[in-house]
């Protein structure tokens, strides 16, 4: 596994000029600003924050550590070849987004290809956080999401209030044809998105984008829609 980090010359809010957003050593990526840790040998655990949130965990299946990993600017990328008969290659790119003071935000770009003529390409992205209250909303390009405490069918955005003055936002990009599910157990919520259920053909690249952010509960219905709108309007990633 490659452990070198290339440095981006640009600067972002809260970071020193010339420093990549991530450091990578021993199979672990560290977000220099939010102090979240991503264990690339166990990507399903996601970004583990100082508060114990597990955000944007990439469930790639069994298969051991990534075959390659690298840091470039605001992104940390890793590639896995799960040890099953699907011949699937999964790529995860976690991007640290610049955010205002008191906020932290990340995006996961998940990709899948296969060397088989056709393969089951089902993967998943999960986030596990403490939950005292859950709000949800649909997402439409150009429209600000309206959060509701009532369960709604096929939510695309979930806002989990932890009960300690902090909230966690999880959302799919509105161009995705998948939905989030939320399961609560023992005071914790698992927000999960099953990706690529239709399968993949050889030579086809599947890609999906999931976003997560953490900020104060006091104004989460203000920063939540603002960050959601920014993510919804962001251009697609051309390559990993």
Could you write out the DSSP letters of every residue in 166-226?
A: EEEEEEE-TT-S--EEEEEETTEEEEEEEE-TT-EETT--EEEEEEEEEEEGGGHHHHHHH
37: number of Cβ within 10 Å: 15
Distance (Å, whole) CA 181 – CA 129: 14
pLDDT of residue 154: 76
Q: Beta strands 5-6 and 68-72: pairing type? A: parallel
Choice among 102-106, 149-153, 166-170, 208-212 with the minimum mean pLDDT: 149-153
Q: Which residue has the higher pLDDT, 82 or 232?
A: 232
pLDDT of residue 1: 43
Q: Are 166 and 213 in contact (CB under 8 A)?
A: no
Choice among 85-99, 117-131, 150-164, 226-240 with the minimum mean pLDDT: 226-240
pLDDT of residue 18: 54
Mean pLDDT of 45-64: 92
DSSP, res 232? H
Q: Which residue has the higher pLDDT, 54 or 150?
A: 54
Distance (Å, whole) CA 64 – CA 8: 29
- For 158-207, the pLDDT digits (tens) are 999 999 999 999 999 888 777 789 999 999 999 999 899 888 999 999 99
Contacting residues for 219 by C-beta, under 8 A, at least 6 apart? none
Alpha helices in the chain (DSSP H): 220-233
Average pLDDT of the residues of the chain: 86
- For 70-121, the pLDDT digits (tens) are 999 899 999 998 777 788 899 999 999 987 889 999 999 999 999 889 999 9
Q: Which residue has the higher pLDDT, 47 or 144?
A: 47
For residue 25, pLDDT beyond 50: yes
pLDDT of residue 64: 76
pTM here is: 0.88
The CA-to-CA distance between both ends of the chain, in Å, stands at 17
For residue 63, pLDDT beyond 70: no
């Amino acid at each position: 596994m490659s452990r070198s980090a290339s440095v981006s010359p640009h600067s972002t809010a809260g970071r020193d000029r010339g420093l990549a957003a991530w450091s990578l050593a021993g199979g672990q990526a560290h977000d220099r600003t939010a102090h979240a840790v991503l264990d690339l040998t166990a990507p399903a655990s996601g970004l583990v924050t100082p508060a114990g949130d597990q955000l944007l965990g990439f469930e790639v299946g069994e298969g051991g550590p990534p075959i390659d990993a690298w840091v470039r600017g605001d992104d940390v990328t890793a590639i896995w070849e799960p040890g099953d008969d699907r011949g699937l290659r999964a790529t995860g790119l976690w991007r640290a987004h610049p955010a205002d003071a008191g906020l932290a935000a990340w995006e996961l770009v998940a990709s899948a290809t296969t060397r088989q003529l056709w393969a089951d390409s089902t993967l998943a992205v999960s986030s596990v956080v403490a939950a005292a209250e859950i709000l949800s909303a649909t997402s439409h390009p150009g429209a600000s999401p309206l959060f509701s405490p009532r369960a709604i069918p096929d939510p695309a955005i979930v806002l989990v209030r932890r009960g300690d003055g902090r909230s966690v936002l999880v959302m799919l990009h509105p161009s995705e044809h998948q939905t989030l599910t939320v399961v609560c157990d023992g005071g914790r919520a698992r927000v999960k998105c099953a990706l690529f259920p239709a399968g993949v053909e050889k030579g086809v690249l599947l890609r999906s984008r999931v976003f997560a952010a953490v900020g104060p509960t006091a104004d989460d219905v203000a920063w939540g829609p603002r960050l959601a709108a920014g993510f919804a309007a962001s251009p697609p990633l051309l390559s990993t």
